[in-house]
Amino acid sequence: MRKKKALPTALTTTMIDSLAHDGRGVAHIDGKAVFVLGALPGEQVTFQYTALHGRYDEGQVVEVLQPNPTRALPRCEYVNSCGGCSLQHIQSQDQIHLKQKVLTEQLQHFGGQLSPTTWLPVITGDVWGYRRKARFSVRYVIKKDSVLVGFREKNGRYVADINDCAVLHPQLARLIPLLRVLILQLAAKEHIPQIEVALGNEGVAMVIRHLVPLTAQDSALIHAFAREHSIDCYLQPKGIDSIVKFQPPNGEAHLSYSLPDFNLTFRFHPLDFVQVNETINQRMVAKVIELLALTPDCRVLDLFCGLGNFTLPMAKLCAGVVGVEGDEGMVQRGYENAAYNQITNVNFYACDLTTDITQQPWAVLPFDKVLLDPPRSGAAELMPWLVKLKPKRIVYVSCNPATLARDAGLLVASGKYRFVAAGVMDMFAHTTHVESMAIFDRL
């Protein structure tokens, strides 16, 4: 076995040549690429090596000796340690340009030299305090008798020592130091690995994961904390199915968010998937509805529909919508939200969309338009079936430009669809996540 090469301990000074897709600066030292976190093109920096590989190495900036004139001053004091976001040193507009470049290059690389006829305007929103849902990692540090609550460090191994977060909504960010104090008081402090928090129209909910039963004293402390800070608290002793409402013990176990343009309110549970950026979600839904160009006689298929984020607003403008989702719990939530909003022209189905769907009852129905919003793995399995379905227009919302590009290539290669338009959304400002959408029309 080849012995692993030791990391250089001395700092290295170099010039940064370019910017990688993930926002890291790229230098070349002795002919080998080095990806340097926190560096920008044209800068002279001193960096510390963090990993060595066969074809490339990795590092992190220690000092910027000659800054790029466009370098931004990070708002977060924990930017050098916390791994929650990595682009704060890049101006917001330049972050958007980077994400547009990523989508363009992925379409070229994975889509077979694809380019849309039209580029859509970028969907933007607030870049600070926008995140309304988060999973905090928790760690009790025995040697210091202290508790860390927050996100993983950039190296991913430890929990960052933070007391605030600039991208979290203030109502969630304020909980970080408060939760540190609470957990430190608990007998179970070594056995609480995570706390999930979510903000809805009504306020905040949190789900505490605990690996051992809570003592009566621990329960009393958590109960008092939740009551004092007006938080709906849930406990999770095992898997997701074990979650129970703890404080207040009675009342509905729901949060909610709104789509004011469509006069809709969606109720959800704290661990349900919902878009974390409320403003971008509202603008995204409105744009998707516009692009679908719905008419009163349209029948629409919404694949990977979740709790009906797109399904219900579409239903207000067309004859009917069928929503399909792999999670049965989300399907149930879709029906609940349809009933809550008095919408009757929708049907939801639970189905694993990575399997053969040709015999599903909804799959044999005709549809005029199709919307799909798949997970990061994309929807390659559905592309041949979609071509045979023959919808007039397909709108594809994506959280992974590589799989969007791959699937777009499959649609265009069929000879039945043309690539009309594409664009990005700044759903996760200051991070490398690229959200995008694409439109395809039948030839």
Catalytic residues: 399
Q: Which residue has the tokens 């590009």?
A: 405
CA angle centred on 185, ends 182 and 187, rounded to 5°: 120
Determine contact, residues 401/376, Cβ cutoff 8 Å: no
Determine contact, residues 200/275, Cβ cutoff 8 Å: no
3-state SS, the chain, equals CCCCCCCCCCCEEEECCEECCCCCEEEEECCEEEEEECCCCCCEEEEEEEEECCCEEEEEEEEEEECCCCCCCCCCCCCCCECCCCCCCCCHHHHHHHHHHHHHHHHHHHCCCCCCCEECCCECCCCCCCECEEEEEEEEECCCCEEEEECEECCCCCECCCCCCCCECHHHHCHHHHHHHHHHHCCCHHHCCEEEEEEECCEEEEEEECCCCCCHHHHHHHHHHHHHCCEEEEEECCCHHHCEEEECCCCCCCEEEEEHHHCEEEEECCCCCCCCEHHHHHHHHHHHHHHHCCCCCCEEEEECCCCCCCHHHHHCCCCEEEEEECCHHHHHHHHHHHHHCCCCCEEEEECCCCCCCCCCHHHHCCCCEEEECCCCCCCHHHHHHHHHHCCCEEEEEECCHHHHHHHHHHHHHCCCEEEEEEEEECCCCCCCCCEEEEEEEEC
Angle, helices 401-413/92-110, rounded to nearest 10 degrees: 40
Determine contact, residues 56/25, Cβ cutoff 8 Å: no
Phi, psi of 150 (to 5 degrees): 160, -135
